[in-house]
């Protein structure tokens, strides 16, 4: 699975980053790179079946506490 993820992201890298680099759109390039880094990290974590914390539980608890739902 991890090989597939890395392969997918490599293809995506060529498809997305090369045109931005060639056009010298540095802001777009770096923001996209930041998002890509976050996205590949989450993808790899999910490959290893690691649980990623969800904001739903704390939000539910907070609303239960405030409104007693």
Partner 1 sequence: MYKEQITDKEAFCLIALFIMGSTLILGAGGEAKNDSWLAAIVGLIFAIPMLFIYSRLLFLFPEKDLFDILNIIFGNFFGKIISILYIWYAFHLGALVLRNFGEFMNTVTMPETPMLVSLFCMGMICVIAVNLGIEVISRFSAYVFPILIFILVFIDLLGITNIHFSNIKPFLGNGITPVLKGGFLSFSFPFAESVLFLGVFFSLKTKKSPLKIYLSGVIFAGVICISLTARNILVLGEFREKLYFPSYAAVSRINIGDFLQRMEGSVALVLLLGVFIKTSICLFVACKGISKLFNLNHYSSITIQVGLLMIYFSRTVFDSTMEMQNWAFKVYRYYAFPFQVIIPIFIWIFAEVKIALGKNKSKGAASK
Binding site for partner 1 (CB under 8 A): 12, 16, 20, 25, 27-28, 31-32, 35-36, 38-39, 42-43, 46, 51-52, 54-56, 59-60, 63, 66-67, 69
Q: Give helix then strand counts, H and E, for the chain.
A: 3, 0
Question: How far is residue 26's CA from residue 68's CA, in Å, rounded to a whole number?
Answer: 49
Shortest reach from residue 27's CB to partner 1, in Å: 6
Nearest 5°: CA angle at 44, between 39 and 23? 35
Six-digit token pair at 34? 């930041």
Shortest reach from residue 18's CB to partner 1, in Å: 12
Shortest reach from residue 30's CB to partner 1, in Å: 9
Judged by CB, which is closer to partner 1: 6, or 16? 16
């Amino acid at each position: 699975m991890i090989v597939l993820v890395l392969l997918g992201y490599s293809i995506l890298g060529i498809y997305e980053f090369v045109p931005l680099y060639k056009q010298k759109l540095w802001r777009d390039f770096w923001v996209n790179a930041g998002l890509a880094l976050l996205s590949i990290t989450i993808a790899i974590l999910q490959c290893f079946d690691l649980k990623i914390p969800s904001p739903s539980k704390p939000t539910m608890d907070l609303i239960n506490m405030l409104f007693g739902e």
